[in-house]
Amino acid sequence: MQTFSEIIGASDYKSVLVTGCDMYSGFSIARTLLKSKHYKHVCAGYFHENALVHHLKKEGANPEHLNVEHAEQIVRAYKKADVVVIVPPVSEHSWSEKSVAYVLAAKEAKVKGLVLCSKINIKEMANMPMLQPLAKMEEAYDQVKDHMKAASLVRCSMHIDVLWLLRHQIASEHKICLPVRHDAKCAPMAEMDGARALCNMLFDPKHKPGVYELTGPETMNFDDIAHQASSAIDSDIGYEQVDHQKFIEYLKHRKEISDNEIHFIGNILCAISDDKLDKQTDDLKKLLGEDPHTVKGYLQKNADDFKPHDD
C-alpha cells in the first residue's frame, strides 16, 4: 500500500472529503485539515446544515449534503476526492445498518485513500442498537480496503469531551453524573487530539496505513475522573452514577446535539460500564509525536467552560 501522503503528493487536485461534519468529531477533523493547508480542497459532508457546517464553509470548506437514503449522491461526492475520511454519520435520521453505504461508496467511486473512524472493541458492542451500524461499517471496510491504494481503520476510546456536554451540571451542581459504574475504567482521549493524530497520518509519510487504536495516556475509573476535575478547575467535584434514561433526558434538555448522538454516547457509556472500553495504547502518542492531553490537562485547558456562568 502507498501512504496517504504519497497519494496526495501525486495528485493535482489534492482533495479530501470528511463525512459527519455536522457533528464535532467530523468538524474537528475538517477544520484541522483546513488549517494544515496540505489539501487544496476540503469537502465537508453533512446531514444537518448547522453552525458547525457554516463555520467550515466560512473557513473555505466545500459543503456536501449527504444522505444514506441517496447512495448515488454519496458516490458522486466521493468521486471529487482523492481521500475520504468517514466519520460515522450518527446525526442522520436513517442511522442504521444502511449506513454501510458510506463505506461501500468508496469502492464504487474508486477513491484512492479511505479512512474509517470507529470505536475500540466495536465488535463486542454490536448488540447495542446505536453501535450496531458502526460494527457493520467495519465489516464493509474489510470488504473494500484492498481496493484502495491506502486504507486505515482508526478506532477511538471514549472522548473526554463528553464532560464538556455536562459543563453546566459540573459548574452548578459540582458533580459528574453518568450512567457508568464509578469503578469502571477507560482511557479517555481528547477529541481534538484524535483529529490532529488522524491528520498527521494523512500528511506524514512515516505513518503507514493500517489499524490504529487511539486512547488517552491514562487508564482511570470515574472516581478518578472526578478527582482530576476537582484539581483542574479548583472545585470539589463528585461522581454520581445515574440512571441511563436520566442522562439521556439531561442531554436532550440541553439541546446541544442530536437525539441520535445522545443515544450513541449513551451506548458507549454503557459499554464502558460493562468493561468493554478499558484498553490503553500508545498509538495516539505515536501519531501526535507528543504526549496527548490527560483528563486533567484537558479540563485545565477548558477550565472556564466548567465554571459558573449566566445561562
Domain that holds residue 14: 4-156+190-214
Do residue 237 and residue 135 come from a single domain? Answer: no
Total domains in the chain come to 2
Do residue 15 and residue 117 come from a single domain? Answer: yes
Q: Considering the entire predicted model, what is its pTM?
A: 0.96
> pLDDT averaged over the chain?
96
The alpha carbon dihedral of 176, 181, 182, 185 has a sign of: negative
On the question of pLDDT at 311 being above 60, the answer is no
On the question of pLDDT at 31 being above 70, the answer is yes
Asked if 309 and 216 touch (Cβ cutoff 8 Å), the reply is: no
Higher-confidence residue of 18 and 234: namely: 18
Residue 311, domain member (yes or no): no
For position 92, which CATH number holds? 3.40.50.720
Do residue 198 and residue 269 come from a single domain? Answer: no
On the question of pLDDT at 137 being above 80, the answer is yes
On the question of pLDDT at 310 being above 70, the answer is no
Q: Please state, in angstroms and rounded to a whole number, the distance separating the CA atoms of residues 295 and 132.
A: 28
Do residue 202 and residue 294 come from a single domain? Answer: no
Which pLDDT score is estimated for 1?
86
Do residue 230 and residue 208 come from a single domain? Answer: no
Average pLDDT on 44-53 reads 97
Do residue 204 and residue 127 come from a single domain? Answer: yes
Do residue 172 and residue 296 come from a single domain? Answer: yes
**Amino acid occupying residue 283:** D
Do residue 199 and residue 225 come from a single domain? Answer: no
Burial 186-211 (b: 16+ CB within 10 A, else e): bbbbbbbbbbbbbbbbbbeeebebee
pLDDT digits 0-9 by tens, 114-128: 999 999 999 999 999
pLDDT > 70 fraction of the chain, expressed in percent and rounded: 99
On the question of pLDDT at 63 being above 90, the answer is yes
Residue 148, domain member (yes or no): yes
